[in-house]
Structure 1
Amino acid sequence: MKPIFLILFTLLTAFLPLAQAKESYLVMEAHSNRVLLAYNSEQKRPVASLNKITSVKVVLDWVKASQANLTTLIPVPQAALALGGPNPMGLQPGDQLSIRDAIYSAMLGSDNIAMFALSQHVGQQLLIRRQIAGDPQKTFVAEMNTLSKALGMRRTKFKSSHGLEVGYWKGHSTAADIARICVHVMRDTGFGFYVKQRSRKISVVSPGGQRRSFTVQNTNKLLGQLNVNGIKTGMTAEAGQCLAINAHKSPLVKKLEDGKTQIRGRDLVVVILGSSDRFGRARQLIPQGWNAFDQWGAAGYPISESRREYLVVPQL
């Protein structure tokens, strides 16, 4: 008969592959497109509020293209209150907040209602400019999918701006595709400014004209640790714990023999989906990713012909 501790060890380890299979991750260096670590990175799955990375980028692109003012007040629609999830400001139908403050609440506080209000406003403005009738939410989500397609996110289908998995809104993506959008948005210094804030004081105007202030806290617990300067957290029952982060180090500067200077940027993108401990996993993957990058550098940054070793994100 086997000793009891061997039987228990066998039973416990039998479940480890199953538990690990629930998680996906990808670690890459953004400037070289070099994939450093990956596991189940092409597996389609819900990504919860990581949706908002793409959503807010669509909003910022619209602001730039239309020359809209970030201080413009937008209303909270009645339909937004049916979403559920975080409502850090206690928003109610008819409340108004600026586009800028709605972005802060959506990105820092993962506020679904603020995100819905943003997508409703931008969707309506797009319909007005195109002089057509339609659903503002579907119009906005179509812009999200257009952006994802342009970035090569072929295994992604967004169904909402907020990421809740309710009815029609059940979309999907992958760790690799979320890494693509992370690289893209962090090229935008404006986007990067939002997501590196630990907290932000914002305000809401009630239907009666009263203004109330609220300080929204960033849900990214790693911000400021391990060189992390963004990006977004997410969590639902179906998606599990999700995390997309950027860790920045100063560029490497090297003088070449011909007198020219070579500058190599260093930004580590880490995407974790379906985790039971996203911050703990990130604390493991960040140093492992930098170590893999340094080993590649020590070998002279050799170029591989394997497509699996690179995740190319086009410059849009």
Structure 2
Amino acid sequence: MKIDNITPRQYILRLNHHPPDYRLQIQNSPVQKLNKQIDLTNKSITESIKKKIQLRKISQISSYQHYDPINFPQSNTMSIDTKQFHIFTKKNSRANTCIQQLSYTSDYSINHQKQKKPQQPQTAIKRNKRVSPIHIPLCPSNPFGPPITAQSWCIINGKDGSMLAGYNEKLKSQIASITKIMTCWLSLKFISLISLDLDNTYFTVPEAAEIIGGTSAQLQNGDQLNIRDLLYGLMLPSGNDAAITLKYNFEQNIGINFIDEMNNCAKEFGLKSTQYMNPHGLYHKFNYSSALDIGILCYQTLQNEHFANIVKTKIYFSEIIDKFGNIKEILWENTNKLLDNGFQGVKTGQTKEAGPCVVEYYQDNNNSYIIVLLNCKSTDQRWDDTIKLLEWIKQ
């Protein structure tokens, strides 16, 4: 601007009287205008990107979803590659459009092929379902004999030891406390060999006997009792502690291996399906026998008068000296519930692996039978099975 021929005061007055638009033009320099244009351009680009992103939002519609007519009042439908879409446009919004794919088509076969099954979440460790043990009665398939629940059984002639009938009689099975028949017989054999007095020879209960568990004669570490009482505590209440006490004292006094001697006796009797690993019958993989072997063993052991008297006794009182010198009395009751009407022993047994087992000796004026049942269906069922076999064999 030229200021020739104009005084400074006039120039100032002219500036003060410029219109407002002109003053704004002076303030808005070219650099400021350029910065504003750049800001407006960036803002418009950002808004356009947001609109495009909103237009591309597509979500699958499940069969259980419902549409709100208030939020989506307008609806149009179009088809692309056999898939149907609903376009819902909200009022007063130009760019806020939601496109949702329907989960169904008019062509069922195409939809059925493309539809994927929901995947189940995988766990770190896959465990098989626990299968409960099932008792399988084998006797109903037997061509002869009554339908009983024992998986194996045998009937021995009590007069000559011959087998009269049986089913799976040679099957090797866990025998639980039936093992104590051999323990009792071997103890009586040692007593006879070294001429021990049953009433005046005392054995001491070891600590291992007190902690053995299972059926018990209520013996404690340090208790002392004579051999006769110990044998009754072995056979009547089926004391595992009594079995350990007999084994321990015979090994200490005679210097033998009790288990080896049990197996040697089995060989002498011709028990081909029998092996012993302990004196009480608690589970051991290699402690087993068969119904036929048990019948043969019982025939031999019943020839011993002491053994026959022990196994047919219902109740027995014992006097035990504890480790403090005090005397305590214990009452033992036989676990065999068939000690009437001709039944005269011999032994019961039961563990989870062996199931309910029983060996019964029956005698009347004309007959004598040894009945062996292994792995019956239940504890009470073994008594019913015994009676069924007895009635059947007597016919």
Aligned partners of 1:231 and 1:40: how far apart in 2?
21
If you compute each CA radius of gyration, which structure gives the higher value, 1 or 2? 2
Aligned partners of 1:34 and 1:56: how far apart in 2?
23
What letter corresponds to residue 371 of structure 2 in structure 1?
Answer: V
Secondary structure, counterpart of 1:275 in structure 2: coil
C-alpha displacement of 1:214: 1.1
What letter corresponds to residue 289 of structure 2 in structure 1?
Answer: S
Q: In the alignment, is the contact (CA less than 8 A) between 1:268 and 1:290 conserved in 2? A: no
Structure 2 stretches of 5 or more lacking a match? 1-133, 140-149
- In structure 2, do the counterparts of structure 1 residues 65 and 88 end up closer, same or farther at CA, with 3 Å as the change threshold? closer
Cα RMSD over matched residues?
Answer: 1.8
Listed one character per residue, the Cα deviations across residues 89-108 of structure 1 (whole Å, up to 9, x for unaligned) are 2x211111111111001101
Q: How many residues align?
A: 248
Q: In the alignment, is the contact (CA less than 8 A) between 2:161 and 2:296 conserved in 1? A: no
Aligned partners of 2:251 and 2:364: how far apart in 1?
37
Q: In the alignment, is the contact (CA less than 8 A) between 1:230 and 1:246 conserved in 2? A: yes
Listed one character per residue, the Cα deviations across residues 23-58 of structure 1 (whole Å, up to 9, x for unaligned) are 110012122333222111110011011111111000
What letter corresponds to residue 150 of structure 1 in structure 2?
Answer: E
Q: In the alignment, is the contact (CA less than 8 A) between 1:268 and 1:289 conserved in 2? A: no
Aligned twin of 2:207: 78
Is 1:237 aligned with 2:355?
Answer: no
Aligned partners of 1:196 and 1:271: how far apart in 2?
16
Aligned twin of 2:258: 140
Is 1:92 aligned with 2:220?
Answer: yes
Q: In the alignment, is the contact (CA less than 8 A) between 2:217 and 2:242 conserved in 1? A: no
Identity percentage of aligned residues: 29
Aligned partners of 1:49 and 1:65: how far apart in 2?
25
C-alpha displacement of 1:17: 9.6
Listed one character per residue, the Cα deviations across residues 142-195 of structure 1 (whole Å, up to 9, x for unaligned) are 1111111111101100111111115xx740100000001100011111210111
Aligned twin of 1:57: 185
Aligned partners of 2:160 and 2:325: how far apart in 1?
51
Secondary structure, counterpart of 2:363 in structure 1: strand
Q: How does 1:21-40 map to 2 (within 5 A)?
A: 23-40=151-168
C-alpha displacement of 1:280: 1.3
Is 1:19 aligned with 2:19?
Answer: no
- The 4+ residue runs of structure 1 with deviation greater than 6 A are none
Select the structure with the greater relative contact order (CA < 8 A; seq sep ≥ 6).
Answer: 1
Q: In the alignment, is the contact (CA less than 8 A) between 1:164 and 1:170 conserved in 2? A: no
Secondary structure, counterpart of 1:164 in structure 2: coil
Aligned partners of 1:288 and 1:124: how far apart in 2?
48
Aligned twin of 1:199: 315
Secondary structure, counterpart of 2:190 in structure 1: helix
Aligned twin of 1:160: 278
Q: In the alignment, is the contact (CA less than 8 A) between 2:217 and 2:241 conserved in 1? A: no
Higher helix share: 1
- In structure 2, do the counterparts of structure 1 residues 34 and 290 end up closer, same or farther at CA, with 3 Å as the change threshold? farther
Aligned partners of 1:86 and 1:155: how far apart in 2?
26
Secondary structure, counterpart of 1:19 in structure 2: coil
Is 1:287 aligned with 2:391?
Answer: yes
C-alpha displacement of 1:240: 0.5
Aligned twin of 1:132: none
Structure 1 stretches of 5 or more lacking a match? 1-15, 128-135, 252-265, 292-316
Secondary structure, counterpart of 1:182 in structure 2: helix
Aligned partners of 1:43 and 1:147: how far apart in 2?
20
Q: In the alignment, is the contact (CA less than 8 A) between 1:246 and 1:267 conserved in 2? A: yes
TM-score (norm 2): 0.60
Aligned twin of 2:328: 212
What letter corresponds to residue 124 of structure 1 in structure 2?
Answer: Q
